Amino acid sequence: MITPDVASLPSDLVCFSHLRWNFVFQRPQHLLTRCAQERRVFYVEEPVFEEGQHPVMRTALHDGVHVLTPHLPRRLSSGAAPDAAVRRLVDEALVRYRIADPVLWYYTPMALAISRHLPAAAVVFDCMDELSAFAQAPPSIRAFERELLDRADVVFTGGLSLYEAKRALHHNVHAMPSSVDVVHFAQARTTADDPDDQARLGRPRLGYVGVIDERMDLDLLAAVADARPEWQIMMIGPVVKIDPATLPRRSNIHYLGGKSYADLPRYIASWNVALMPFARNDATRFISPTKTPEYLAAGKPVVSTSIRDVVRPYGRRGLVRIADHPDAFVAACEAAMAEDPAPRMARADAFLKSMSWDRTWQRMSRLLRSAIEASDRDRPSARLRSDQGIGTGVQTAPASRRSIVSA
């Protein structure tokens, strides 16, 4: 049997993210499950603090991705202690899984505190949001982002607005707007299976799917509910970073909680209008909502506030109605319910033909391979050091790095 040259094998990918893998199935999950078909993928979450005496890294396999969650004693929850503990756990995981010279893929620049010492085949920054503009963002995040941009070999952005904001900050930036699994959401066009917690509610139904946080225009939501009390408004998704007591409570607003990605088409199926009632603030300035093409693939008319990456291209192409103020938003919803859906669905389907997560990942994968090749040429000594177990502070075993050691 011929043993493959280790250098010819795809580098493992280690992702550092601020998002829990099981929180909401979104951009990281779509991309990294596809990446896992090409190479081993390790997804490092932020730490969980709990009762206990010693730090431990707990691992699980989800959709081919190894999810690594640091569990730390509460006594290590302040100062530099959490970063030091997680850094040690990450180093130990590299040894356990025999990971040498991986691709380091970042969703949060803050993870540099636990990973900047690691040699890498390439460094990728997939900038899916302007995290510095979010509620509770750490003051140091801008400095960490500048460092990450300096270290990165390639930068992807989750939308056109983010691309425009970052393109002058790095020599290799590419707009990679979030895409859609058309076949998955198209199930909403044919299913009659109404979930139990929604089946009891009246019609017409208008709905939102996504995280409910500081990006939501709660005043607009309340105004729409008050203007049309016969409309039943479904709010599907977890409430985070805001006090649930601040949510508008009306008899026709229904907070159904988070749902699995697999179940979303069943919920959307009976809606008359799909909503994106986002506030216009710093946190939404650069967002590119994944739900826009998902709603369209589900065959629903969409009404949104004037989020820049929704206005272009969707609003300008007549695929989404744009309205910011309550009266205009209500009028847009009424027009959506009154329209002949066939022409709008035909335009949406034609537009979505060029969109898929598979295509997005293929483009990103090609650019990743180019970045690895360029990194090999520019930094040959880094690969030599990592192959010799130098740089991480731990001994690695590159000749066996494709064999998984059980956690």
Q: Looking at residue 379, what is its pLDDT?
A: 60
CATH of the domain at 217: 3.40.50.2000
Within a domain: 266: yes
pLDDT tens by residue, 135-147: 889 999 999 999 9
Phi then psi for residue 321, to 5 deg, are -85, 135
**Those residues with Cβ within 8 angstroms of residue 293's Cβ, 6 or more apart along the chain or in another chain:** 178, 179, 180, 352, 355
Within a domain: 406: no
Within a domain: 202: yes
Within a domain: 248: yes
pLDDT tens by residue, 33-49: 999 999 999 999 999 99
Under a CB-based contact definition with an 8 Å cutoff, are residues 107 and 28 in contact? yes
Looking at per-residue pLDDT, the higher value among 323 and 402 belongs to 323
Q: Does the pLDDT value for residue 256 go beyond 60?
A: yes
Q: By residue range, what is the domain housing residue 238?
A: 182-352
Distances (CA, A) of 160 to 68, 139, 176: 31, 25, 8
Same domain, 154 and 211: no
% of the chain residues with pLDDT over 70: 91
pLDDT tens by residue, 110-169: 999 999 999 999 999 999 999 999 988 999 999 999 999 999 999 999 999 999 999 999
The residue-averaged pLDDT of 195-217 equals 97
Same domain, 77 and 210: no
The residue type found at 3 is T
Same domain, 172 and 30: yes
Same domain, 55 and 173: yes
Q: Looking at residue 7, what is its pLDDT?
A: 45
Within a domain: 1: no
Same domain, 234 and 333: yes
Phi then psi for residue 296, to 5 deg, are -65, -40
Same domain, 34 and 158: yes
**Those residues with Cβ within 8 angstroms of residue 63's Cβ, 6 or more apart along the chain or in another chain:** 29, 33, 36
The residue-averaged pLDDT of 304-332 equals 97
How many domains does one find in the chain? Answer: 2
Q: Looking at residue 9, what is its pLDDT?
A: 61
Same domain, 153 and 242: no
Same domain, 56 and 102: yes
Same domain, 326 and 264: yes
Within a domain: 297: yes
Within a domain: 407: no
Looking at per-residue pLDDT, the higher value among 363 and 53 belongs to 363
Decide the pairing of beta strands 302-304 and 321-322.
Answer: parallel
Phi then psi for residue 266, to 5 deg, are -65, -40
Q: 3-state DSSP helix/strand/coil percent for the chain, to nearest 5?
A: 40, 20, 40
Same domain, 341 and 284: yes
Q: What is the mean pLDDT of the chain?
A: 91
Burial annotation 112-134 (CB, 10 A radius, 16+ → b, else e): bbbbeebbbbbbbbbbbbbbbbb
Q: At what angle do helices 380-387 and 357-378 cross, to 10 degrees?
A: 90
Same domain, 256 and 365: no
Within a domain: 146: yes
For 406, the token pair is 């059980």
Class of residue 314 by CB neighbours under 10 A (exposed 0-12, middle 13-18, buried 19+): buried
Q: Looking at residue 404, what is its pLDDT?
A: 22
Task: Name residue 154's beta-bridge partners.
Answer: 124
Name which of 155, 151, 159 is nearest 172 in CA terms: 155
For the ranges 21-30, 250-259, 373-382, the lowest mean pLDDT is seen at 373-382
Same domain, 205 and 172: no
Instruction: Please state, in angstroms and rounded to a whole number, the distance separating the CA atoms of residues 85 and 82.
Output: 5
Decide the pairing of beta strands 65-73 and 56-62.
Answer: antiparallel
